[in-house]
Chains A and B, each alone.
Chain A
Amino acid sequence: AQSVTQLDSQVPVFEEAPVELRCNYSSSVSVYLFWYVQYPNQGLQLLLKYLSGSTLVESINGFEAEFNKSQTSFHLRKPSVHISDTAEYFCAVSGGAGGTSYGKLTFGQGTILTVHP
């Protein structure tokens, strides 16, 4: 079975400050990792993903995440946040090829990022 833990339920920061949203997972098989963002009353948007290759992945709006297999982590970072980054962020894991969890996503509880002016 897979599980995802997002260590912080809420993260308040000031505009232009750096931020890190933490995510740890557990799985007995290789995994694929994702970060999704959800704005109020909207669906989830894929922010970035790790499938294979470079352990550092980046999004087009300045977020990055690093897959750390030894620590089973996939923390999300941004060096300078904007007011518009205020949203809820979900870390998710999917089973790798051949795994029994292929297909479905297992989500963490979510982290609400609030950026203050």
Chain B
Amino acid sequence: NAGVMQNPRHLVRRRGQEARLRCSPMKGHSHVYWYRQLPEEGLKFMVYLQKENIIDESGMPKERFSAEFPKEGPSILRIQQVVRGDSAAYFCASSPPTSYEQYFGPGTRLTVT
């Protein structure tokens, strides 16, 4: 059973460009979570999704950030018009229904130049 997959592993964008981060959960997992790890900070929750539904987006910045988890395909975290402050490691985690255990992917390290 493959683990949580994230791609790309490293992403470089210039200020003002768009960043798309993809996450494929483990087989059988229908819940996806996105977290951000900024330099010198811990991990912060961003958004919790189930298939075709956003359950909790209380950690998402109000502007430029969006997330989706379509019926088919990976979950996508989209950052529009990136700024240098968006440089961070973005981690995706997944869990099966009714489980509290989250399994993390290797992360995408976004660098904004």
Residues of A near any B CB (own CB < 8 A): 32, 34, 36, 41-46, 49, 51, 90, 94, 103-110
Give the most central of B35, B43, B45: most A CB within 10 Å: B43
Q: Is the CB of B42 within 8 A of A108?
A: yes
- Give bound CA distance, A41 to B104, whole Å: 13
- Give bound CA distance, A36 to B104, whole Å: 10
Q: Is the CB of A105 within 8 A of B41?
A: no
Q: Is the CB of A104 within 8 A of B103?
A: no
CB-CB under 8 A from A46, the residues of chain B are: 101-103
Residues of B near any A CB (own CB < 8 A): 4, 6, 31, 33, 35, 41-45, 48, 55-56, 58-59, 91, 93, 100-107, 109
Q: Is the CB of B33 within 8 A of A90?
A: no
Residue on B nearest A109 in the bound complex, by CB: B42
Q: Is the CB of A49 within 8 A of B101?
A: yes
CB-CB under 8 A from A32, the residues of chain B are: 100
CB-contact partner of B45 in A36, A44, A51, A106, under 8 A:
A106
Residue on B nearest A101 in the bound complex, by CB: B56
CB-CB under 8 A from A103, the residues of chain B are: 31, 33, 48, 55-56
Shortest CB distance A102–B (Å):
8
CB-CB under 8 A from B4, the residues of chain A are: 43
Shortest CB distance A110–B (Å):
5
Q: Is the CB of A104 within 8 A of B104?
A: no
Residue on A nearest B50 in the bound complex, by CB: A103
Given A42-B107, A106-B45, A107-B44, 18 other A-B residues pairs in contact with their CB atoms under 8 A: A32-B100, A36-B104, A42-B106, A43-B106, A43-B107, A44-B104, A46-B101, A46-B103, A49-B101, A103-B31, A103-B33, A103-B48, A104-B45, A105-B35, A105-B102, A107-B35, A108-B42, A109-B41
Q: Is the CB of A107 within 8 A of B48?
A: no
- Give bound CA distance, A98 to B76, whole Å: 28
- Give bound CA distance, A59 to B55, whole Å: 31
